[in-house]
């Protein structure tokens, strides 16, 4: 049995097909233990550390950090019995085809000689023992002179062992001075010989109409191309005639809108999954969004009283906690909201896996609190705090982001009043919680400053009709307007 075992990227759950290597936690030559974390991989749902399947010594790492690897692809090789001595390899005398393929580690260890200057011994292209040249197997300098097929009508010549001295050959091209009225082809303002000018057909037509010779202009567009502005300046007499190619100063150059002023960001990981889910949901479930503005002054005062209680002093208490409690109580009154469309049937769930949308450096993720309806207010507060801290640390597991049934997105933390959120796939409702602001409000017949917020509820109209969605949103608003009265009335 081979001592060298290749460890393949495993399926980390939910049928994931690929992952990006964020960081290697080991290097070639390290001795590792069983279940020791060896690599951090970002999947479409989370960043996770993968443990080693065997103990031993790292022999090769096949993919560098930042590489996206498909599930089932080998990512590392481990010698499971490093104490048994060196690994046997092919020796001299074997044909090149029988030699083992160089490992990624050995290739990475080979230094490449500099492009200029003397080549040090041992580097690729440099001298090696015995007068040979250091090269990789299958690569290297030719041992015979290059042969060309003679042209038709050409007289074959014999190769000379010594350099030909009859006709001196210039080492570098030099400017050719004209000796006759007819000058040789010269470089135009774009540095291109033979009159070749980069310009689009509309620009060429404009130059013809204005009587401008394009070969005398210096282009300011991408790759030195001539733009309409260049032609217009030349027509007005502001463009200089044939000049050597120079770098135009930023103050006088025309604005460029090419690729050099664009940034291309690969779509992968969380961003790729989010895009796929949002597109599928937006064009599958018929969305309806309703809004409700609520006076939450009493709810804010209730939070202040809660923070003052001895048993709550070390607990993170925020308005989102009361919103989550309001949603859970409203679901009990309207269970159809917590359901899934399954084609020929609607699946109504007696449990609420409450998702809390979280913005992280890796993108938007929606971990959920499992069976949140069974938790007390204190347990719900602790669960929400742990969920947010884990998400910000980038340690949310795929299991924590699967199985959600209903979601809250707190756009108020960004100073936004509300929004029209898109349903996560498989869910029938999502609530947007806006910023709490002090605003003029009619209270007991008088206009007074009150704490006000706006809620936005999006729901799947295949399951939830307008009446059900409106009652569900109204109940959430009633709880936030007067939490104590709602608890007494509903529980």
Other C-beta atoms lying within 10 Å of the C-beta of residue 252:
9
Nearest to 183 by CA among 191, 171, 175: 175
Judge whether 461 counts as a catalytic residue.
yes
Radius of gyration of the chain (CA): 36
CA 394 to chain centre: 15
- Name all contacts of 475-478 with Cβ < 8 Å and 24+ positions apart: 475/326, 475/329, 475/330, 475/333, 475/334, 476/292, 476/323, 476/326, 476/327, 476/330, 476/431, 477/292, 477/294
Q: What distance in Å separates the CA atoms of residue 455 and residue 435, rounded to the nearest whole number?
A: 9
Please give the structure tokens belonging to residue 445. 């017949």
Other C-beta atoms lying within 10 Å of the C-beta of residue 179:
8
Side-chain-facing half-sphere of 454: CA atoms under 13 Å: 12
| Dihedrals phi, psi of 14, to nearest 5 degrees | 65, 25
Q: What is Dmax (Cα atoms) for the chain?
A: 111
Nearest to 407 by CA among 472, 354, 346: 354
Q: What distance in Å separates the CA atoms of residue 228 and residue 239, rounded to the nearest whole number?
A: 12
Burial 447-464 (b: 16+ CB within 10 A, else e): eeebbbbbbbbbbbeebb
DSSP class of residue 170 equals -
Show which residues are catalytic: 461
């Amino acid at each position: 049995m081979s001592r060298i075992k290749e460890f393949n990227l495993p399926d980390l759950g939910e049928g994931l097909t690929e992952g990006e290597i964020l960081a290697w936690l080991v290097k070639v030559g390290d001795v590792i233990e069983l279940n020791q974390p060896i690599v951090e991989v970002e999947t479409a749902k989370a960043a996770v550390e993968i443990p080693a399947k065997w103990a031993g010594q790292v022999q090769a790492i096949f993919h560098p950090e930042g590489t996206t690897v498909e599930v089932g692809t080998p990512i590392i090789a481990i010698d499971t019995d490093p104490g048994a001595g060196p690994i046997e390899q092919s020796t001299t005398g074997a044909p090149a085809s029988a030699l083992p393929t160089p490992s990624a580690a050995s290739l990475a260890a080979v230094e490449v000689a500099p492009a200029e200057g003397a080549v040090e011994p041992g580097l690729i292209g440099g001298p090696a023992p015995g007068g040979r040249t250091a090269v990789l197997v299958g690569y290297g300098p030719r041992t015979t002179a290059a042969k060309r097929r003679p042209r038709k009508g050409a007289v074959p010549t014999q190769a000379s062992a010594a350099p030909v001295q009859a006709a001196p050959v210039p080492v570098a091209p030099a400017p050719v001075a004209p000796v006759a009225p007819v000058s040789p082809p010269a470089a135009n303002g774009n540095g291109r010989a033979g009159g070749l000018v980069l310009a689009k057909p509309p620009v060429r037509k404009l130059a013809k109409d204005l009587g401008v010779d394009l070969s005398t202009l210096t282009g300011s567009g991408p790759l030195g191309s001539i733009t309409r502005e260049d032609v217009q300046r030349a027509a007005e007499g502001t463009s200089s005639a044939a000049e050597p190619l120079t770098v135009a100063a930023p103050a006088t150059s025309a604005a460029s809108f090419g690729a050099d002023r664009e940034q291309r960001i690969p779509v992968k990981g969380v961003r790729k999954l989010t895009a796929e889910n949002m597109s599928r949901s937006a064009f599958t479930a018929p969305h309806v969004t309703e809004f409700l503005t609520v006076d939450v002054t009493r709810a804010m005062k209730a939070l202040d009283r809660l923070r003052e209680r001895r048993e709550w002093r070390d607990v993170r208490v925020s308005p989102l906690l009361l919103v989550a409690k309001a949603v859970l109580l409203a679901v009990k009154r309207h269970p159809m909201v917590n359901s899934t469309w399954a084609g020929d049937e609607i699946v109504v769930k007696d449990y609420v896996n409450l998702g809390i949308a979280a913005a992280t450096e890796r993108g938007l993720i929606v971990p959920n609190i499992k069976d949140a309806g069974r938790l007390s207010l204190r347990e719900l507060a602790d669960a929400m705090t742990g969920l947010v801290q884990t998400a910000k640390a980038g340690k949310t597991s795929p299991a924590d982001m699967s199985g959600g049934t209903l979601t809250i997105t707190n756009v108020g933390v960004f100073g936004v009043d509300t929004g029209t959120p898109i349903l996560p796939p498989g869910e029938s409702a999502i609530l947007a919680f806006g910023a709490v602001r002090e605003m003029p409000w009619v209270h007991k017949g008088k206009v007074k400053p009150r704490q006000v917020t706006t809620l936005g509820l999006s729901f799947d109209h295949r399951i939830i009709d307008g009446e059900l969605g409106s009652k569900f949103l109204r109940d959430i608003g009633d709880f936030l307007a007067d939490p104590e009265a709602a608890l007494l009335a509903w529980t």
